[in-house]
Amino acid sequence: MMREILVVDGYNMIHDWPPLQKQLGVSLASARDALVDMLEDWQGYTGVPVMVVFDAHQVPGGEVEDFSPGRVNVVFTREMKTADSYIERMVDELEDQRVTVKVATSDGAEQSLILSRGAVRMSARELYEDYVRLRKRKMAELTGRVARDHALEGRLPEHVREKLEQMRRNNGL
């Protein structure tokens, strides 16, 4: 079975996802943090590792990578290097390792390029809709679990439930 990874063009998502557009009004850093939080949720829902890449090509300094086990991997490109070029390099490297690479970007030229290199493309809108759908499903599961856990039946020992069921059947309830 091939492994899979989602590589995300960070600023592309920030400028497309409605809650992140609102965060931009606060600060770019808070929008980045919110995106990473949302991607960590998506990673938890799907089990697919995520790498988010942010352009830092106009900021002096070297490339910064934060690869923490079990967390979303965050990359800030080095000076004079775009997120697109970093993503393209990652697609090439990961394809060589027999990893299915899905790239989330709404940049049309980048989509064409990564498709030609064997990666799967996902638009910013598609990823956001997937995130919302998975989050709703998880919330419904948790809500149902909480309701069941708070029901009297869920808190009674098995022998008491059996006795009550026997009483119910004998009384024709």
pLDDT in tens, 69-121: 678 999 988 877 888 889 999 898 887 788 889 999 998 888 888 888 888 99
Task: Say how many domains are in the chain.
Answer: 1
Q: Is residue 146 part of a domain?
A: no
Does position 160 have pLDDT exceeding 80, yes or no? yes
| Distance, CA of 63 to CA of 55 (rounded, Å) | 10
Q: Is residue 48 part of a domain?
A: yes
Q: Is residue 47 part of a domain?
A: yes
76 φ, ψ (degrees, to nearest 5): -110, 120
Q: Is residue 157 part of a domain?
A: no
Q: Is residue 173 part of a domain?
A: no
pLDDT at 165: 81
* Average pLDDT of the chain to the nearest whole number: 85
145: buried, middle or exposed (CB in 10 Å: 19+, 13-18, 0-12)? exposed
Q: Is residue 159 part of a domain?
A: no
Q: Is residue 18 part of a domain?
A: yes
Domain boundaries, position 110:
3-137
What mean pLDDT do residues 130-145 have? Answer: 87
Does position 1 have pLDDT exceeding 70, yes or no? no
Strands 50-54 and 73-76 turn out to be parallel
Domain with residue 88: its CATH number is 3.40.50
CB 10 within 8 A of CB 83: yes
Q: How many Cα atoms sit within 13 Å of 133 on the Cβ side?
A: 7
Q: Is residue 100 part of a domain?
A: yes
pLDDT in tens, 144-156: 766 555 666 667 7
